[in-house]
Amino acid sequence: MTRLNKVLLQGRLGGEPEIRHLEGDKMMATFNMAVDMGYRDKQGGWKEDTNWFRIVTFQKKLIEKRLSSGNLKGQTVLIDGELKSQDFKDKDDNKRRSVEIQVGPYGSIDVIHTKQKKEEGDHDVGQETAGTGTDGSSA
């Protein structure tokens, strides 16, 4: 029987990705992502709630092309990944479980850069998308 484990999120980077170089020319990147959700309360007023998600990837090409450039904090990102849970024991020896979103070889991270006005009177402000395919190549 086929199982589906797929997560699609759009949100903002909460900080610069932490990039680690691992043994054997491998890399790992982690970052936190904020996703805002809006809803109406019982009185009809609009409320916003922010959910935070931890994102992890070991995809070297994706890390090099999309996450190592710096100045990404606050940028909008699109994530295509899967849920991954890990059991561990805390400092008091209590069992804990963490859940993160892992972007594997079939997932992607798209960073949407917002162009900034360079000169006064420049009204051409838009978006550039820096996307990746499943192999980390440009989309």
Residue 121 has pLDDT above 90, yes or no: no
CA distance 66 to 133: 11
Q: Write the pLDDT tens digit of every residue in 3-27.
A: 899 999 999 999 999 999 999 999 9
Q: Write the pLDDT tens digit of every residue in 57-92.
A: 999 999 999 998 888 999 999 999 999 999 999 999
Question: Structural domains in the chain?
Answer: 7-34+48-130 (2.40.50.140)
Residue 132 has pLDDT above 80, yes or no: no
What pLDDT score was predicted for residue 139? 42
What pLDDT score was predicted for residue 114? 58
Report the amino acid identity of residue 33: M
CA distance 139 to 133: 5
Residue 2 has pLDDT above 90, yes or no: no
What pLDDT score was predicted for residue 71? 87
As a whole number, the mean pLDDT across the chain is: 84
- What is the model's pTM? 0.74
**CA torsion angle for 54, 60, 64, 70 (degrees, to 10)?**
20
Supply φ then ψ for residue 130, to 5 degrees: -110, 90
Query: In this prediction, what percent of the chain has a pLDDT beyond 70?
Result: 81
Average pLDDT for residues 83-110, to the nearest whole number?
Answer: 93
